[in-house]
A and B are shown apart, each in its own frame.
Chain A
Amino acid sequence: MSDVNEEVTRAQLRHGLRIATLLVAAATVFGLGLSNLLRYLDVHESPLTQLAAFAALGAVLAGEAALLVRGRSWGRLRGPAIAVVLAASALSYVTLPDGRTSTGVDWIFGAANWAGLVVLLDRPLRSAVLFLLAHDLTALLHLVLLDEPSRGDLARFATGSVSVIGFPLCVAVVATVLRGLSAAAAASREEIERVRVAEAVAAESHRRRRQRFAELSVTTVPLLEGLADGSLRPENSVVQRRCAIEAARMRRLFAEADTVADPLLHELRHCIDVADRKGVVVELDARGQWPTPPVAVRRDLTEAVLIVLATAASRARVTVVGGADLVSVSVVADCGEVDVPSPATPGVRVEALNNDDTVWMEAQWQPIPQRTS
């Protein structure tokens, strides 16, 4: 939330600066510029040209005002707008009477700089600098080429240039700094977010690993310890069966982290794979569609398959029949008596049927209808 607030504040700040700059420019062009122009209109050789130059500046400022109201920037019109301002400046200087550079008659000297600045306020600083130099250079060319400048004239021009370039430049610098600040803030915010995500991922995988280890420690670790200290003999068929069951449980555990369309079938395939490697021929067949059961339920459903397959002698058939209200996982295999696992989650029922050498174990889960919130 605070990030959003910061961003809003920054946008408001930039917007405010744009308004302030436009007001200053308007005051300069329509106040000082226009009064000087009107006061010395009869001095000009071609008053119409001067008025046209003034109208050009006025049009650019009006454009900025319109864009500001609509919350847009100059975009592709920026180049033409600057060209208009520089053309107005050149036009005004070409028809300016000799020896009048940077005097009261030279109204455009202190007006065109602001008109250009409002157009370039959201551009890099160098654009504003180049524009101001271009404008100042136009005035200097007029002074040097068309007049015979005295030392006094040059001094007046230099003093004038300080305010003509200096003030708009200050505004442009402030705008640039403001932009730099918000870019840096955005970058650091992204960096902080990245670090936070990485931390959360690391914490979650650590938690998962510990949880997996805790789950294995109940059944797998005693088996491994027994094998290591020699109390369990690998040639014992009971030990072999336990190993097969633990191997399948581990495969299932690893498969639980996979992202697949049907986790139940995916985990069943992993359980079956262990039996496949032992040489048991396993068929897997599934019909219907079912909601994805939670991990704990999937473990209960696959546990029966896992235990029967670990004991199966040669062949087994694993089937899943599902609907919205019942998911049933069945295994039929030629194995002797096996212990019926007791499900850990409510809603799961395991039934076993022994017929000669064949065991049919079925785990059923009834999803509790979830209220849609």
Chain B
Amino acid sequence: MAADSAADELITAVIVDDHVAITAGVRSWCSEAVPPIDLIDAGDRLADVWTGPGAAADVVIFDLELVPRRPDFGELRRLVDYGRRVVVYSQHIDDATAIKCVDLGALAYLTKREGPEHLVPAIRAAARGEPYTAPSLSGALVADDDPGRPRLSQRETEVLRAWFVSSSKELVAAKLNITAKTVDTYIARVRVKYANVGRAARSKSELVGRALDDGLITLAELNQKVTSL
């Protein structure tokens, strides 16, 4: 956890989730986080994300299924288009849903099996406008065989796979003989490549722009087309 100056500022997040137990759990994780994250509870009222204190929150923690078995991609799209930074927190574990959320412009996709060790970093990353890739999403990206998927290097695939499998960046680093920072770099590069394909969204283009500015990835690498294998 690299200390970031932006992370030291108080982050506010608003959670939309119809399960009070989830909200209570997330609230407790946020207050225990160092520094703590200020959490606003919108319950199952989407309006509270758009008006009142929720409208000013840095991050939206969004339950994809307020209506059971009907993932609300439309609302996610509206939030992202408005420029909100969204962390999708879903009970869905299927790969297609995860990848669709990323394609729509969500900065993080977490399953509810993933606890504070992933949710808190995901909220902090989203507050900075950066993506966070939890192991479950990493697994979805590895298993993605969509013809429109971006072309990943062998090392990037190895890192994604190891991160999904071990759920520990130290282990990935030890296994692949690289530093934990390099692990983050590879994962970030994958997300930039994904942000560069599919539907246009502000959060995605920001991500790509920043990655190019930082030299995380070059334009040539980014524009490599899908493998024709």
Contact = CB atoms under 8 A, between A and B. Distances in A.
Interface of A: 283, 285, 287-288, 317, 319, 321, 328, 330, 332, 353, 355, 358, 360, 362
B171 interface: yes
Contacts of A283: 113
Given A321-B142, A362-B165, 6 more contacts: A287-B142, A328-B161, A353-B174, A355-B171, A355-B174, A358-B171
Contacts of A285: 93, 135-136, 139, 164
Contacts of A288: 142-143
A155 B171 CA distance: 113
Chain B, interface residues (CB within 8 Å), range: 10 to 19
B72 interface: no
Nearest 3 pairs of A and B residues by beta carbon:
A287-B143, A287-B139, A330-B165
A287 B175 CA distance: 20
A360 B175 contact: yes
Contacts of A355: 168, 170-171, 174
Contacts of B135: 285
A221 to B, nearest CB: 35
B153 interface: no
A287 B164 contact: yes
B185 interface: no
9 contacts: A287-B140, A319-B139, A319-B164, A321-B165, A332-B165, A353-B171, A353-B175, A355-B174, A358-B168
Nearest to A354: B174
B95 interface: yes
Nearest to B173: A355
Contact of A319 (B113, B140, B165): B165
Given A353-B171, A355-B171, A360 B166 contact: yes
B205 interface: no
B167 interface: yes
A353 B168 CA distance: 13
Contacts of A287: 95, 139-140, 142-143, 164
Contacts of A358: 168, 171
Interface in B141-183: 142-143, 161, 164-168, 170-171, 174-175
A332 B175 CA distance: 12
A98 to B, nearest CB: 92
Contacts of B168: 332, 355, 358
A216 B170 CA distance: 38
Nearest to A331: B165
Contacts of B139: 285, 287, 319, 321
Contacts of B113: 283
B157 to A, nearest CB: 11
Interface in B89-104: 93, 95
A358 B165 CA distance: 13
Contact of A360 (B140, B161, B171): B171
Contacts of B136: 285
A281 to B, nearest CB: 11
Nearest to A319: B165
A332 B143 CA distance: 20
Given A287-B95, A353-B174, A317 B142 contact: no
A329 to B, nearest CB: 9
Contacts of B95: 287
A190 B127 CA distance: 75
A288 B95 CA distance: 10
Nearest to B93: A285
A358 B170 CA distance: 10
B94 to A, nearest CB: 10
A321 B95 CA distance: 13
B166 A332 contact: yes
Nearest to A285: B139
Give the most central of A287, A355, A360: most B CB within 10 Å.
A287
A355 B170 CA distance: 8
B56 to A, nearest CB: 36
A310 to B, nearest CB: 20
A285 B95 CA distance: 12
B97 to A, nearest CB: 14
Interface string B109-122: 00001000000000
Nearest to B175: A353
A332 B171 contact: yes
Contact of B167 (A317, A321, A362): A317
Contacts of B171: 332, 353, 355, 358, 360
Contacts of B165: 317, 319, 321, 328, 330, 332, 360, 362
Contacts of A362: 165
